[in-house]
A and B are shown apart, each in its own frame.
Chain A
Amino acid sequence: MDRFKAVFFEEATTLINELERVSLLLHNNPSDSSITEQIFRIMHTLKGNSTMFGFYRIGDFTHHFETLYDYIREGKMSVTDNVLNITFASVDHLRVLLTDVELENSVHKINHENLIRGLIEVLNGTSGEESIKNNSSDHKIENKVSDSPTYWVKFVPEKGLVRKGTNVLFLLDDLSQLGATYTVSNTERLPDFKKLDPAEIYLSWEIYVSGSVTENSILDVFMFVEEDCELEIRKISETNLLDQDGFSTIARDVSLSIDDKILKFGGLVKKSSSKSRIEEVRNKMEKANERSIITSKDNSISSIRVASEKLDELMSLVSELVTTQARLNLVSEQIASSELISISENIEKITRQLRDNTFSICLIPIENLLVRFQRLVRDLSTQLNKDVVFVSEGADTELDKNIIENLADPLMHIFRNSLDHGIESGEERVKKGKPAQGKILLKAFYSGNSVIIQIRDDGKGIDPEMIRQKAISKGLITADQNLDRRQIFDLIFLPGFSTAEKVTEVSGRGVGMDVVKRQITEIRGEVEVESVLNEGTTINIKLPLTLSIIDGLLVKINATHFVIPLGNVDKCFEANHEEFVDKINDLIILDGEQVPFIYLRDEFDIKENCPQLHQVVVVKQDDRRVALSVDTIIGEYQAVLKPLGRLYKSVDVISGATILGNGEVALVVDPNRIIKEYIFNQIHNEVLQ
């Protein structure tokens, strides 16, 4: 059973996410009936699933929700802000319900009750049944519901019906699903209490149904009990009688026969019917149903759901295959048998295809992230009382799922910043001659081997001079330091720098842009800010396509192999050993330029077998260039990244390991770290001197 529940939770989560996505669409196009139809269907599925698995609270909750959208899709209600708010609150609450099924947390429980009350209140404004009880004559409602015919149903069940396993009340419930109902029970058959057999039914009912119903749809309800009851159905009016004044008095009078009642009802009718509209609604519904069947068929064929651990496992197996393949190549070359070489080449081809395929499986479109940002923008802009629209471009750009997962937090933070500090209030914007509505654009696109994500707002921008002053006041830079524009904007990412003048609930949560930078660096990404005062701020994030494979330069120092990521490699040179020793300023002249160098043999504490001639790899990070000395450069190498594990957490200049064709382990160098460490040491040394 637990396994089934797990499936339910997974499906429910997908449904809720889908619901959120669709609700956001509705927010933008409140009048699009296909969207309300979709929401109704999602709720319907969720209700069915949850009741089936015994999550009655979810079932109950979704039932109310479903009714709401049922009214909307039938045109009995329109999508108001109130409806939208309650929809989003419900989405959040459904997520809560999944984690706290029994509502053990009292806050959740109160929330649950409030939401249901809210839903019922919204519904009460429209339900035909309710409006009769309250005898309300709300003009709007009358108009909307009056297009439906009224049927009279007399249902006299056989006394023994319950023994056959039928719950008669369910039938009445089902009937009320068809439209507004008014039910009159007839107690004539009730015997004396002493003679009453609790297993028999003595009651019978007269039910008035109004809505988009037909005789057939009513007959359908009683399909399974037809043989065991007395059933009479008559159309008594083309219009909705239920919301006419005086209807209930006539309906309740059991002494009158139905024919007499019809006569009396006739006096109540004020409006003529318009049958065509009912047909129209019904056709639309049928079409929508057809459509849903087709789409669900498509889905079942074109995609399957796979646990992400399985994907990770597949990925690591493929990586292993790539490694083994490299080894096979090596061996087959050594043996030099043409037959073996041809087999090995074939396997190499297949391996490559398999690898590319597997990687593409693990890529997911960035769209998966966007829903929550849309939501964030909607919620925050309401909270901040700003009118902001969120636009995205290139939502189909694909990234490794691990990157996407780790991208949510930093992006969230950037969005909060933009909304809170970037975009001005409506009046301020108008004063500046900008449109009152602010705009945040998220643009994703491929650029070579990376993906660029830009978040651009049209807010007030950042004043570089202000950043400078702030950095000076915080002691991050000295007043006489000369920084170019880029360097000034980079200051934002330093720990201890926060441009927020005041701490607000929205963005002042104690995390600054330094955390954003760190989180992005962790997924091997880069981030930078560009801003024009009063025009807006753009944040550029550059990310690798995948985390598990990098193109690198394979080098060797003594017996140890190292891989330097190719993205950081600028140029390669040769240099004599003497050029590296006994230098005071640690500078080497390459191509007529002075470049600071790091003698890796000293840095990594490797002393054995020092060669006379060194190879030099110049790595660059942003605008900084540093030369790294190695013994030999072997060549380009596609490295499958393996973590070094927790024991080596403290060694940050090595970001991982990879396994070479001959089975040895090569270490992957993180040039950014080395450069950073170098600069740190320089400053340290200067201070000491």
Chain B
Amino acid sequence: MSIENLNVSNSYLSFKLENETFAVTVERVHEILEIPTVTKVPKSPDFMTGVINLRGNVLPVIDTRIKFGLAKTDFTIDSCIIVLSIMMENEQITIGALVDSVQEVLELSSEKILPSPALGSKYKAEFIQGMIKNDEDFIMVLNIDEVFSINELHQMKENTSETII
């Protein structure tokens, strides 16, 4: 259900990290939560904020800012968790993505999504599904399977440990 569906669907949820706007297809969004008590799991990488109780289930929460190389999220009144389902190693799992604020739901026909520029982007090409031009701003549509995939998480972990040494 990954890429084909993404092209057909034309609703996107946009959210902000610092000054930049990103979007994910609403098909993968379960709900948006205010931030409850988060339990940090010891010995886990920095960008894994911890776990929360989502109606009796344990939901891992990922700090999207750290994933994107920004400073750790300071909780504000706008901070929230987007509950997403992602495909990881052919299995569907649910995660929470911590973001600065959610913006709006955009209704767009698929031709409005431009291919992402191959050069000059500060994010890895495989993270970005495409671009949306919204007034004067560009919104980056994320390929969430890639962004939050375990391989990428492990890679990040290795990087952080290198910097420590």
Contact = CB atoms under 8 A, between A and B. Distances in A.
Contact of A663 (B36, B43, B150): B36
Given A605-B43, A644-B41, A667-B51, 13 more contacts: A320-B55, A323-B56, A603-B42, A605-B42, A606-B42, A644-B60, A646-B91, A646-B93, A648-B48, A648-B51, A648-B60, A650-B44, A663-B36
A81 to B, nearest CB: 47
Given A657-B58, A663-B37, A648 B42 contact: no
B58 A645 contact: yes
Nearest to A643: B58
Contacts of A663: 36-37, 53
Contact of A654 (B41, B52, B60, B93): B41
Given A647-B48, A647-B60, A659-B58, A667 B39 contact: yes
* Interface residue range, chain B: 20 to 34
Nearest to A324: B56
Interface string B55-98: 11110101000000000000000000000000011010101000
A319 B56 contact: yes
For the residues of A in contact with B, the DSSP-based class is mixed
Nearest to A677: B43
B60 A665 contact: no
A313 interface: no
A323 B56 CA distance: 8
A658 to B, nearest CB: 9
Contacts of A665: 37, 39, 50-53, 58
A582 interface: no
A647 B95 contact: yes
A241 to B, nearest CB: 69
B133 interface: no
Interface of A: 316, 319-320, 323-324, 560-561, 603-606, 642-648, 650-651, 653-654, 657, 659, 663-667
A651 B44 contact: yes
Contacts of B37: 663-665
A644 B52 CA distance: 10
Contacts of B36: 663
A603 B41 CA distance: 12
A654 B42 contact: yes
Contacts of A561: 39
Nearest to A605: B42
Given A646-B150, A647-B48, A664 B39 contact: yes
Contact of B153 (A647, A666, A667): A647
A316 B56 CA distance: 9
Contacts of A647: 48, 60, 62, 93, 95, 150, 153
Interface in B96-155: 150, 153-154
Contacts of B93: 645-647
B82 to A, nearest CB: 16
B42 A653 contact: yes
Nearest to A320: B56
B42 A644 contact: no
Contacts of A650: 44, 154, 157
B40 interface: yes
B43 A651 contact: yes
Contact of B39 (A316, A643, A645, A666): A666
A17 to B, nearest CB: 30
Contacts of A667: 39, 41-42, 51
Interface in B26-56: 36-37, 39-44, 48, 50-53, 55-56
B39 A560 contact: yes
A657 B51 contact: yes
A514 B88 CA distance: 29
